[in-house]
Amino acid sequence: MSLRLRAAVVIAKRRIFESFLNPGYYIAQAVGLLLSYILISGFVSSIDSSGLNYMLHPLYEFIGRLLSGAFGITFLEKLFAEGPFQFVSYVSFVPIFIYLSFSTVFRFSLEKKVGAIELLAYGPVDGTSCFLAFYIKDIILTIFYLLFLILFLIMAALLNNLVLGPAFLYTLVVTFFMAMLLYSISILASVLTDSGASAMVLYIGIILFLLIVIMGSFTIGSAYVRSFSSVLSWLINWFSPFFYWGLALSFLEVGNMLAYFLILLVMMVLSGLFLFLSHQVIKIRGVRP
């Protein structure tokens, strides 16, 4: 086990170095920070004497209508209760998450298909070491981006005379753990399929399915989504990163920090479970489709 982990760390260092040389990582960061700037500027323009007024800015008018229609006005009020930064952090995280997880799914599947992983498996590593390297790489690069995002938002708050709010860092921590869980699901999707395209379709399908289920617990507009969610969510939500994300934020809102950290622990355990399942699948199927 220690040899496998050591091999995974060595490969991960190489992949992290390659990512730093790849413009895609920086483009994803730039897109995320640009979205942050646009959303913060729009929020500042939407403030009047009575507080946040969505009608003052066309972007926030659209955001207000979209989120209140999908999740309800209560969800919208909680989201902006401490300013724009909780919402901004979620939106600005999406580009880097898409880049890291999608590139991992596609590249691991491609390397498996062309036999690159099979070639490595004849040496001191195996298929598990290879996908662990991708997982470690995604986690480290996510940490780098989140640290940079925190500095960026602190500067934006100071320049616009805004306050980040006490819950801001806690929401970023939840986002990170949710990403860890989603990355482990991306690994499982990669080892279950035989090509990059099929792995991508499976991974996107899983994300969309989990989003539909969690939206069914908030939505007030679609009877179909509500009924669909009520049938499946009692089982699916226990494996859903989005469910635990919402649960952790709920505990944070009422100040139950013990339950909050317990949810983070559960997300770590589930990540390990999906990685273990990936190990078992690649152990049975091998590293070459």
pLDDT score at 117 = 65
Report the share of the chain in percent with pLDDT over 90: 42
- Neighbour-count burial of 17, counting CB atoms closer than 10 A to its CB (0-12 exposed, 13-18 middle, 19+ buried): exposed
Which of 134, 126, 138 shows the shortest CA–CA distance to 107? 134
For residue 41, the surrounding DSSP H or E stretch is helix 23-45
**pLDDT for residue 220:** 45
- pLDDT tens, position by position, 1-22: 577 778 788 888 989 999 999 8
Q: How far apart are CA 282 and CA 274, in angstroms?
A: 12
**Mean pLDDT value across residues 263-285:** 92
Taking 80 as the threshold, does the pLDDT of residue 219 lie above it?
A: no
pTM to 2 decimal places: 0.89
pLDDT digits (tens, 9 = 90+) for 167-200: 888 999 999 999 999 999 999 999 888 887 888 9
Amino acid at 59: L
Positive/negative CA dihedral, 255, 63, 44, 96: positive
